[in-house]
Amino acid sequence: MSNEVWVVADLKLDGSIRKVTFEALSEARRKLVGKIGGNLCGVLLGSGVSNLAPELGKYGAEKVYVVDNELLKDSNPDGYTKALADLIKKYEPYIVIAGNTNLAEDYLPRVAGRVQAGLTMDSIDLDLTDDNRLKIQRYSHSSKVISTQEFLDHKPMMTTVRPNSFKPEEDQKDPEIVNESVDFNSEDIWTNVVEIKAKKSDLPPLTEADRVVSGGRGLGSEENFKYIYELAEAFDAAPGATRAAVDAGYCPYDMQVGQTGKAVSPNLYVAVAISGAIQHFSGMGSSKVIVAINKDPDAPIFKKCDYGICGDLFELLPPLTDEVKKLLQD
Protein backbone atom coordinates (compact mmCIF):
# COMPACT_ATOMS: atom_id res chain seq x y z
CA MET A 1 0.00 0.00 0.00
CA SER A 2 1.42 3.39 -1.04
CA ASN A 3 0.97 6.67 0.80
CA GLU A 4 -0.36 8.49 -2.28
CA VAL A 5 -3.49 10.62 -2.23
CA TRP A 6 -5.24 10.57 -5.61
CA VAL A 7 -7.62 13.17 -7.02
CA VAL A 8 -9.48 11.98 -10.13
CA ALA A 9 -10.05 14.81 -12.57
CA ASP A 10 -13.62 15.54 -13.60
CA LEU A 11 -13.95 16.81 -17.16
CA LYS A 12 -16.56 19.03 -18.79
CA LEU A 13 -18.09 18.17 -22.15
CA ASP A 14 -15.63 20.52 -23.86
CA GLY A 15 -12.73 18.54 -22.38
CA SER A 16 -11.63 21.11 -19.80
CA ILE A 17 -11.22 20.27 -16.10
CA ARG A 18 -13.98 21.21 -13.67
CA LYS A 19 -13.15 23.55 -10.82
CA VAL A 20 -14.09 20.92 -8.22
CA THR A 21 -10.94 18.99 -9.21
CA PHE A 22 -8.74 21.95 -8.28
CA GLU A 23 -10.70 22.40 -5.04
CA ALA A 24 -10.12 18.75 -4.12
CA LEU A 25 -6.39 18.94 -4.95
CA SER A 26 -6.02 22.05 -2.80
CA GLU A 27 -7.87 20.62 0.20
CA ALA A 28 -6.04 17.30 -0.01
CA ARG A 29 -2.74 19.19 -0.01
CA ARG A 30 -3.78 21.33 2.97
CA LYS A 31 -5.37 18.63 5.15
CA LEU A 32 -4.20 15.14 4.15
CA VAL A 33 -0.91 14.76 2.31
CA GLY A 34 1.41 16.23 4.94
CA LYS A 35 -0.09 14.20 7.77
CA ILE A 36 0.55 10.86 6.10
CA GLY A 37 3.86 11.94 4.56
CA GLY A 38 2.52 11.10 1.15
CA ASN A 39 2.41 12.42 -2.38
CA LEU A 40 -0.44 14.28 -4.04
CA CYS A 41 -1.35 12.72 -7.38
CA GLY A 42 -3.81 13.52 -10.11
CA VAL A 43 -5.60 10.97 -12.30
CA LEU A 44 -6.68 11.76 -15.86
CA LEU A 45 -9.10 9.39 -17.58
CA GLY A 46 -10.48 10.07 -21.03
CA SER A 47 -9.67 10.45 -24.70
CA GLY A 48 -7.14 13.11 -25.72
CA VAL A 49 -6.47 14.15 -22.11
CA SER A 50 -2.69 13.83 -21.89
CA ASN A 51 -2.13 17.56 -22.41
CA LEU A 52 -4.15 18.39 -19.27
CA ALA A 53 -1.56 17.07 -16.81
CA PRO A 54 0.16 20.47 -16.27
CA GLU A 55 -3.16 21.94 -15.09
CA LEU A 56 -3.23 19.44 -12.22
CA GLY A 57 0.39 20.29 -11.44
CA LYS A 58 -0.63 23.92 -11.13
CA TYR A 59 -2.65 22.97 -8.04
CA GLY A 60 -0.02 20.79 -6.41
CA ALA A 61 -0.13 17.40 -8.13
CA GLU A 62 3.38 15.92 -7.96
CA LYS A 63 2.50 12.98 -10.18
CA VAL A 64 -0.28 12.46 -12.73
CA TYR A 65 -1.52 9.04 -13.85
CA VAL A 66 -2.95 9.20 -17.38
CA VAL A 67 -5.16 6.68 -19.16
CA ASP A 68 -5.82 8.06 -22.63
CA ASN A 69 -8.07 5.72 -24.60
CA GLU A 70 -10.70 6.18 -27.29
CA LEU A 71 -13.09 3.94 -25.33
CA LEU A 72 -13.13 6.55 -22.54
CA LYS A 73 -14.52 9.17 -24.92
CA ASP A 74 -17.75 10.87 -23.84
CA SER A 75 -17.14 9.92 -20.19
CA ASN A 76 -18.28 6.34 -20.64
CA PRO A 77 -18.96 5.10 -17.06
CA ASP A 78 -18.11 1.48 -17.88
CA GLY A 79 -14.72 2.49 -19.24
CA TYR A 80 -14.02 4.80 -16.30
CA THR A 81 -14.88 1.99 -13.87
CA LYS A 82 -12.49 -0.47 -15.51
CA ALA A 83 -9.66 2.07 -15.92
CA LEU A 84 -9.71 3.47 -12.39
CA ALA A 85 -10.21 0.09 -10.73
CA ASP A 86 -7.20 -1.32 -12.60
CA LEU A 87 -5.06 1.66 -11.60
CA ILE A 88 -6.03 1.31 -7.94
CA LYS A 89 -5.26 -2.40 -7.91
CA LYS A 90 -1.84 -1.77 -9.47
CA TYR A 91 -0.65 1.23 -7.43
CA GLU A 92 -2.69 0.84 -4.20
CA PRO A 93 -3.25 4.51 -3.26
CA TYR A 94 -4.02 5.48 0.33
CA ILE A 95 -6.96 7.78 -0.48
CA VAL A 96 -8.95 8.41 -3.69
CA ILE A 97 -10.99 11.60 -4.10
CA ALA A 98 -13.28 12.82 -6.88
CA GLY A 99 -15.81 15.59 -7.31
CA ASN A 100 -19.41 14.73 -6.48
CA THR A 101 -20.60 15.12 -10.06
CA ASN A 102 -23.11 13.13 -12.11
CA LEU A 103 -20.34 11.05 -13.69
CA ALA A 104 -18.59 10.26 -10.40
CA GLU A 105 -21.89 9.34 -8.76
CA ASP A 106 -22.35 6.84 -11.59
CA TYR A 107 -19.01 5.07 -11.77
CA LEU A 108 -17.23 5.59 -8.42
CA PRO A 109 -19.47 3.21 -6.40
CA ARG A 110 -18.75 0.55 -9.03
CA VAL A 111 -15.02 1.15 -8.61
CA ALA A 112 -15.32 0.90 -4.82
CA GLY A 113 -17.10 -2.41 -5.23
CA ARG A 114 -14.40 -3.80 -7.51
CA VAL A 115 -11.50 -2.84 -5.25
CA GLN A 116 -13.41 -3.54 -2.00
CA ALA A 117 -12.98 0.00 -0.71
CA GLY A 118 -15.01 2.10 1.66
CA LEU A 119 -16.78 5.04 -0.02
CA THR A 120 -18.52 8.19 1.20
CA MET A 121 -20.28 10.69 -1.03
CA ASP A 122 -20.72 14.46 -1.09
CA SER A 123 -18.19 15.39 1.60
CA ILE A 124 -17.95 19.00 2.74
CA ASP A 125 -14.86 18.53 4.95
CA LEU A 126 -11.80 16.27 4.81
CA ASP A 127 -9.43 15.35 7.62
CA LEU A 128 -7.56 12.46 9.21
CA THR A 129 -7.96 10.79 12.58
CA ASP A 130 -5.00 10.53 14.97
CA ASP A 131 -4.13 7.15 13.40
CA ASN A 132 -4.45 8.52 9.84
CA ARG A 133 -7.83 7.17 8.87
CA LEU A 134 -9.89 9.39 6.57
CA LYS A 135 -12.54 11.41 8.37
CA ILE A 136 -15.19 13.36 6.46
CA GLN A 137 -18.19 15.52 7.17
CA ARG A 138 -21.36 15.62 5.10
CA TYR A 139 -24.89 16.96 5.36
CA SER A 140 -27.66 14.63 6.48
CA HIS A 141 -31.30 14.77 7.59
CA SER A 142 -32.23 17.29 4.87
CA SER A 143 -29.18 19.42 5.72
CA LYS A 144 -30.37 19.96 9.30
CA VAL A 145 -27.39 17.98 10.61
CA ILE A 146 -23.73 17.66 9.67
CA SER A 147 -22.53 14.12 10.34
CA THR A 148 -18.91 13.08 10.87
CA GLN A 149 -17.88 9.72 9.45
CA GLU A 150 -14.60 7.87 9.97
CA PHE A 151 -13.26 5.10 7.76
CA LEU A 152 -12.12 1.77 9.12
CA ASP A 153 -8.45 0.88 8.76
CA HIS A 154 -8.87 -0.52 5.26
CA LYS A 155 -7.34 0.89 2.08
CA PRO A 156 -8.02 2.57 -0.20
CA MET A 157 -10.39 5.07 1.37
CA MET A 158 -12.59 6.77 -1.22
CA THR A 159 -14.80 9.84 -1.15
CA THR A 160 -16.41 12.42 -3.39
CA VAL A 161 -16.46 16.09 -2.42
CA ARG A 162 -19.27 18.56 -2.93
CA PRO A 163 -18.40 21.24 -5.51
CA ASN A 164 -17.70 24.69 -4.06
CA SER A 165 -16.93 23.35 -0.58
CA PHE A 166 -13.22 24.20 -0.66
CA LYS A 167 -11.08 27.07 -1.90
CA PRO A 168 -8.77 26.26 -4.82
CA GLU A 169 -5.21 27.50 -4.24
CA GLU A 170 -2.37 27.22 -6.73
CA ASP A 171 0.86 25.46 -5.76
CA GLN A 172 2.82 25.04 -8.97
CA LYS A 173 4.52 21.69 -9.50
CA ASP A 174 6.11 20.02 -12.52
CA PRO A 175 4.38 16.67 -12.19
CA GLU A 176 5.81 13.31 -13.17
CA ILE A 177 3.61 11.83 -15.90
CA VAL A 178 2.79 8.13 -15.66
CA ASN A 179 1.11 6.92 -18.85
CA GLU A 180 -0.88 3.75 -18.33
CA SER A 181 -2.75 1.53 -20.76
CA VAL A 182 -5.85 -0.51 -19.95
CA ASP A 183 -6.80 -3.67 -21.82
CA PHE A 184 -10.51 -3.49 -22.55
CA ASN A 185 -12.58 -6.37 -23.88
CA SER A 186 -16.20 -6.75 -24.93
CA GLU A 187 -17.28 -7.62 -21.39
CA ASP A 188 -15.91 -4.37 -19.95
CA ILE A 189 -18.04 -1.93 -21.95
CA TRP A 190 -21.78 -2.52 -21.57
CA THR A 191 -22.89 0.97 -22.50
CA ASN A 192 -22.54 2.71 -25.84
CA VAL A 193 -22.80 6.50 -25.67
CA VAL A 194 -24.67 7.33 -28.87
CA GLU A 195 -24.96 11.09 -28.51
CA ILE A 196 -24.48 13.86 -25.97
CA LYS A 197 -26.53 17.02 -26.31
CA ALA A 198 -25.42 20.01 -24.28
CA LYS A 199 -27.93 22.65 -23.34
CA LYS A 200 -26.99 25.85 -25.12
CA SER A 201 -26.75 28.94 -22.95
CA ASP A 202 -24.91 32.24 -23.02
CA LEU A 203 -24.91 32.29 -19.21
CA PRO A 204 -22.09 30.83 -17.09
CA PRO A 205 -22.56 27.35 -15.53
CA LEU A 206 -24.32 27.65 -12.18
CA THR A 207 -21.75 25.75 -10.09
CA GLU A 208 -18.80 27.70 -11.49
CA ALA A 209 -20.34 31.17 -11.78
CA ASP A 210 -18.71 34.11 -10.05
CA ARG A 211 -22.15 35.70 -9.55
CA VAL A 212 -25.54 34.06 -9.02
CA VAL A 213 -29.03 35.58 -8.93
CA SER A 214 -31.65 33.22 -7.48
CA GLY A 215 -35.41 33.45 -7.11
CA GLY A 216 -37.86 31.81 -4.76
CA ARG A 217 -41.52 30.92 -4.70
CA GLY A 218 -42.36 34.56 -3.98
CA LEU A 219 -41.91 35.31 -7.70
CA GLY A 220 -45.38 33.84 -8.08
CA SER A 221 -45.16 32.41 -11.61
CA GLU A 222 -42.92 31.16 -14.40
CA GLU A 223 -43.59 34.40 -16.28
CA ASN A 224 -42.34 36.49 -13.36
CA PHE A 225 -39.02 34.65 -13.36
CA LYS A 226 -38.09 36.96 -16.23
CA TYR A 227 -37.05 39.43 -13.51
CA ILE A 228 -34.44 36.91 -12.30
CA TYR A 229 -33.14 36.26 -15.80
CA GLU A 230 -32.93 39.98 -16.57
CA LEU A 231 -31.01 40.81 -13.39
CA ALA A 232 -28.73 37.79 -13.90
CA GLU A 233 -27.98 38.91 -17.45
CA ALA A 234 -27.20 42.42 -16.25
CA PHE A 235 -24.77 41.04 -13.67
CA ASP A 236 -23.35 38.49 -16.16
CA ALA A 237 -24.47 35.99 -13.54
CA ALA A 238 -25.98 32.52 -13.56
CA PRO A 239 -29.70 32.31 -12.67
CA GLY A 240 -30.67 30.02 -9.78
CA ALA A 241 -33.77 29.04 -7.85
CA THR A 242 -35.05 27.41 -4.69
CA ARG A 243 -36.59 23.96 -4.64
CA ALA A 244 -40.00 25.52 -4.00
CA ALA A 245 -39.73 27.57 -7.19
CA VAL A 246 -38.63 24.53 -9.17
CA ASP A 247 -41.39 22.33 -7.72
CA ALA A 248 -43.92 25.02 -8.62
CA GLY A 249 -42.76 24.81 -12.23
CA TYR A 250 -41.36 28.33 -12.42
CA CYS A 251 -37.98 27.14 -13.76
CA PRO A 252 -36.09 23.92 -14.61
CA TYR A 253 -34.42 21.66 -12.06
CA ASP A 254 -30.91 22.44 -13.32
CA MET A 255 -31.31 25.90 -11.74
CA GLN A 256 -32.01 24.53 -8.26
CA VAL A 257 -29.62 25.58 -5.50
CA GLY A 258 -29.61 23.85 -2.14
CA GLN A 259 -29.39 20.54 -0.37
CA THR A 260 -31.27 18.69 -3.12
CA GLY A 261 -29.85 20.84 -5.90
CA LYS A 262 -26.49 22.38 -6.69
CA ALA A 263 -23.96 23.88 -4.28
CA VAL A 264 -22.57 27.26 -5.32
CA SER A 265 -19.93 29.52 -3.84
CA PRO A 266 -19.84 32.73 -5.89
CA ASN A 267 -18.38 36.09 -4.92
CA LEU A 268 -21.90 37.53 -5.15
CA TYR A 269 -25.19 35.75 -4.41
CA VAL A 270 -28.44 37.70 -4.84
CA ALA A 271 -31.41 35.98 -3.17
CA VAL A 272 -34.77 37.30 -4.38
CA ALA A 273 -37.98 36.28 -2.57
CA ILE A 274 -36.09 33.53 -0.73
CA SER A 275 -36.89 32.97 2.93
CA GLY A 276 -33.51 31.48 3.82
CA ALA A 277 -34.45 27.95 4.89
CA ILE A 278 -31.50 25.78 5.92
CA GLN A 279 -32.05 23.44 2.94
CA HIS A 280 -31.38 26.32 0.54
CA PHE A 281 -28.69 27.97 2.66
CA SER A 282 -26.66 24.75 2.72
CA GLY A 283 -26.15 25.15 -1.02
CA MET A 284 -25.07 28.81 -1.05
CA GLY A 285 -24.02 29.76 2.47
CA SER A 286 -20.33 29.87 1.54
CA SER A 287 -20.93 32.74 -0.92
CA LYS A 288 -18.58 35.65 -0.28
CA VAL A 289 -21.29 38.35 -0.36
CA ILE A 290 -25.01 37.60 0.03
CA VAL A 291 -27.64 40.20 -0.91
CA ALA A 292 -31.24 39.47 0.08
CA ILE A 293 -34.39 41.05 -1.36
CA ASN A 294 -37.58 40.11 0.46
CA LYS A 295 -40.80 41.87 1.46
CA ASP A 296 -40.96 40.05 4.82
CA PRO A 297 -38.79 41.90 7.37
CA ASP A 298 -38.73 38.76 9.55
CA ALA A 299 -37.44 36.44 6.81
CA PRO A 300 -34.54 34.31 8.14
CA ILE A 301 -32.42 35.27 5.13
CA PHE A 302 -31.93 38.75 6.62
CA LYS A 303 -30.01 37.21 9.53
CA LYS A 304 -27.67 35.46 7.13
CA CYS A 305 -27.02 38.06 4.44
CA ASP A 306 -24.43 40.82 4.16
CA TYR A 307 -26.88 43.31 2.64
CA GLY A 308 -30.66 43.23 2.86
CA ILE A 309 -33.39 45.12 1.01
CA CYS A 310 -36.89 44.87 2.44
CA GLY A 311 -39.50 45.66 -0.20
CA ASP A 312 -41.64 44.50 -3.11
CA LEU A 313 -39.43 42.73 -5.64
CA PHE A 314 -41.64 43.84 -8.53
CA GLU A 315 -40.96 47.45 -7.62
CA LEU A 316 -37.28 46.95 -6.75
CA LEU A 317 -35.94 44.67 -9.47
CA PRO A 318 -36.64 46.71 -12.65
CA PRO A 319 -34.78 49.85 -11.47
CA LEU A 320 -32.05 47.72 -9.86
CA THR A 321 -31.55 45.89 -13.15
CA ASP A 322 -31.32 49.20 -15.02
CA GLU A 323 -28.72 50.55 -12.60
CA VAL A 324 -26.63 47.38 -12.81
CA LYS A 325 -26.66 47.62 -16.60
CA LYS A 326 -25.47 51.21 -16.43
CA LEU A 327 -22.67 50.40 -14.00
CA LEU A 328 -21.40 47.19 -15.57
CA GLN A 329 -22.24 47.44 -19.24
CA ASP A 330 -21.88 51.11 -20.17
Express each pLDDT in 14-43 by its tens digit. 889 999 999 999 999 999 999 999 999 999
Express each pLDDT in 60-79 by its tens digit. 999 999 999 988 888 788 99
Residue-range domain boundaries for the chain: 4-180, 206-329
- Contact call for residues 25 and 61 (beta carbons, < 8 A): yes
Q: What is the mean pLDDT of the chain?
A: 91
pLDDT for res 198: 72
Matching CATH number, 4-180, of 3.30.465.10, 3.40.50.620, 3.40.1360.10, 3.60.9.10: 3.40.50.620
Fold equal for 4-180 and 206-329: yes
Strand-by-strand arrangement of the 211-215 sheet? 238-241, 211-215, 268-272, 289-294, 307-310
Strand-by-strand arrangement of the 157-161 sheet? 118-123, 157-161, 95-99, 4-8, 39-46, 63-68, 176-180
Express each pLDDT in 286-301 by its tens digit. 888 999 999 999 999 9
Q: Is 109 helix (H, G, I), strand (E, B) or coil?
A: helix
Closest-CA residue to 247 (of 271, 279, 269): 279
Q: What is the CATH number of domain 206-329?
A: 3.40.50.1220
pLDDT less than 50: residues of the chain = none
